[in-house]
Every structure is written in structure tokens, then in C-alpha cells.
Amino acid sequence: MKNEKLTQDEYDALAEVARGIKGERVSACVGRNTKRLAGLKLFSVAKNGRLSLTDKGQQALFLRRCIVSMRALAADPGVQLDADVANFLGKKAHISASADGAGFTLTDKGRESLADIERQGL
């Protein structure tokens, strides 16, 4: 993703659109970020003005959840992960089941990826 570094506010807007906009008006958060996120093809705007999340937007939110989960796991190995995130990170060998079987631990590959993510400032 070239120059597509998103702010926390933009991620919040993505999450809000993913949950679904209720009513006629969008929130201030979504309103502030619509132009940029639609330009990056993370939102699609229908002719009637309704916003929806694109596949690229869903992928951005999922990757954000994975990064947040890896950071949480690095800080506290006992943290519970969502099933889809744990499955994805397990397939990519970033996490492995802990020795006691109660949770997950970050692998060397996961720590390297997390360090690279921190270096990039994501």
C-alpha cells in the first residue's frame, strides 16, 4: 500500500462504515475522512450517497486487527485472540500454541514482523 498509512481516526471511520451507517447522516468522523478513504478505494460511495466498505477496506481493517493482536500478544501472552485472527496468524507462522495449550505465543517470525511494522511506523 503506497502512501496509504492511515490514522486512527481513519481506521475508526472504516470500522463505523463496516458496522453500517444508521440513518441519513454520517458521523463527523466518517465525514472528515470520506474523501481520502474513497480516493484510496477503501469506501465506495453510491449515487444516492450511501457508503459501503470495499474489499480493500475490509482487508485493511483485518490487517489492523492482526497487528493490534500481535502487539497485545507481545505485551501479554495470555491475551485471547479472535478466531479468524488466530487462524490467519497461525497459518502465517507468526504465532504458535503455547506450551500449556491455553493461548498463543509470538514466534520469532512474528517478532521480526512486528519489529518491521514498528520500524515502518504502522
pLDDT at 59 over 90: yes
- Write the pLDDT tens digit of every residue in 61-119: 999 999 999 999 998 888 889 999 999 999 999 998 887 777 888 999 999 999 998 89
Q: What is the pLDDT of residue 2?
A: 56
Q: What is the pLDDT of residue 1?
A: 46
- This prediction's pTM: 0.85
- Which residues, in sequence order, are bridge partners of residue 45? 51
* Rounded alpha-carbon distances, angstroms, from residue 77 to 17, 35, 38, 63, 100: 31, 39, 37, 20, 12
- Write the pLDDT tens digit of every residue in 4-58: 789 999 999 999 999 888 777 888 999 899 999 999 999 998 888 788 899 999 9
Beta-sheet strands, E only, within the chain: 43-45, 51-53, 95-97, 104-106
> How far is it, in rounded angstroms, from Cα 69 to Cα 42?
22
